[in-house]
Structures are given as C-alpha cells and as structure tokens.
Amino acid sequence: MILRSKQLSHSFAVLCWWLLGTLFLQGTCRYSLKDAAPIPADIKTVKVSFIENKARYINPQLSPKLTDKIRQKIVNQTRLSQTSDEADFEISGYISDYSVSTSGISQQQVASNNLNVTVHIVFRNRKDEKKNFETDITRNFPFSATKSLSQAELDLNDQMVNNLTDEIFNRIFSNW
C-alpha cells in the first residue's frame, strides 16, 4: 500500500513538472512579483528632495541615509535622470514619527520594544497631476528590551532605511 502511494506521488510530481515546463516554454505562463508597469515615455527626470526629520526624537543618520537610498534605488531601477531643477517627478517628505513603544511583556516585565518610524511622502507628477499623492508610510522595527535605544538604532539602521526605501519606491512606481 505504501509503495503504491509513493508511485502515485512520484507520477503526480512528474506530471506537474511537465505541465509547468510546457506552460513556461509556450510563454503562456507569466509570473510577476508586483503590479509594476513601465514609466510613461514622456517622464524623463526625477528630483528627490532631502527627507527632513520633523519627529520629536531625531536619529541624525536616518534622514541623510534614507534620502540617499531612495535616490540610489531610483537611479538603479528606473531609466529616470536625477536633477536638482524642476523635474517630471518630484519626491519630497519628512520623518513625522520616530518613537519607541512596548510590544511584548513577559513575567510582568517588558520583553521587547518597537522602534516606530513614520515617513510622510509627497509625490508630484508634473505631466499628469491626477497622479499626485501624499501618504504616510509607517513601519515598526522590534528589538529586545535588554538593548538601549542607541544599541537598537545601530542594529536596525540599515533595516529601517532599506524597508522604508522599498515601501516608498513601490508606492511611487507601482500600478502605472
């Protein structure tokens, strides 16, 4: 009985791989990681203004690193040219919240905390003003309550910058 079950499993797996291979070779199967479409051809330039820090608590590294990472990602993943003059796309914003909250309690003591970061983004499309928007992007980054805020910031800085950059980029360049 077990041998028969294994033979059926193997036959089913072979059939599935054959179907997937056939679909792939015929080009009828498409897989996409996101709903991104090409940027309109008449859009050629982008201006990314410095992301200011207007939160009550200021992490001095976050604003410059976030601004630079957004600029790098746009240059590396789009055909747009950066400019400091008036551009087809203009991106600006500020960090509106940078705070710590308790996220877990164990045996009546704080076990973990969250570093909460909110970035307010303003996107302007000079060619199609119907595409303009403003949005808040909030992310929470957990860290052990045994760490100080300074230690947590050292550990989380790259993760914060990368996650926020990805979210900002996706909000702007997806769903054209």
What is the model's pLDDT at position 119? 99
Mean pLDDT of 61-74: 98
What is the model's pLDDT at position 37? 58
Q: What is the chain's mean pLDDT, rounded?
A: 84
> Is residue 2 very low, low, confident or very high in pLDDT (cuts 50, 70, 90)?
low
- Is the pLDDT score of 27 beyond 50? no
What is the model's pLDDT at position 174? 87
CA angle (20 as vertex; 16, 24 as ends), nearest 5: 170
Classify the phi-psi angles of 147: left when phi > 0, otherwise alpha if psi is within -120 to 50, otherwise beta.
beta
- % of the chain exceeding 90 in pLDDT: 70
